[in-house]
Amino acid sequence: MLSEQNCDRRRLFKNPLPGAPADSSTDCRRTGTRLPAIYSPAFKLAAVMSFVPINPKPFLADLNGKPVIVKLKWGMEYKGILVAVDGYMNLKLQDTEEYIDGVNTGALGEVLIRCNNVLYLRGADTAPAEPAEDVAMDEA
């Protein structure tokens, strides 16, 4: 009875990461004290290599009064000076310009952006990361 319950629990943890190899510890035919695949080396490696999240409130407070770029879920971008942020993370921008598909559609002045429309926000002086150029490898 106990081994059947363990078997059911182990099926829940099978292949926790896309592309991770199926671990023999998830095989229900095996019995013993093996841990489920969620504790596999592939899972631990993915956890270590993931990025460190930044707390948004100090990040936004740091950007207050500085030029920012706000991209909405719908594709539009707004470039302006961040004037205020409330507890819901609604944004108020000043001297704002609207960009649709990378083309400036004009100056808007003061803009209020509701929090649930924002895809991301970044400082305007920070350039987006450019992909590295492909380099030919020398054959040894």
- Confidence check: pLDDT of 89 > 70: yes
Q: What DSSP string runs through 52-85? A: PP--HHHHHHHHTTSEEEEEETTS-EEEEEEEEE
The structure tokens listed for 140 are: 């040894």
The better pLDDT of the pair 71, 31 is held by: 71
Of 10, 12, 21, 11, the residue nearest 43 (C-alpha): 21
Global pTM value: 0.54
pLDDT band at residue 46 using 50, 70 and 90 as cut-offs: low
Least confident of 79-83, 96-100, 108-112, 121-125: 121-125
Q: How confident is the model at residue 24 (pLDDT cuts 50, 70, 90)?
A: very low
Residue 118 has pLDDT above 80, yes or no: yes
pLDDT at 39: 60
Q: pLDDT grade, residue 53 (50/70/90)?
A: confident
The CA angle 43-50-34, to the nearest 5 degrees, is 15
> In order of start, what are the domains of the chain with their CATH numbers?
56-123 (2.30.30.100)
* Cα 86 to Cα 95: distance, rounded to the nearest angstrom: 19
Q: What type of residue is 78?
A: Y
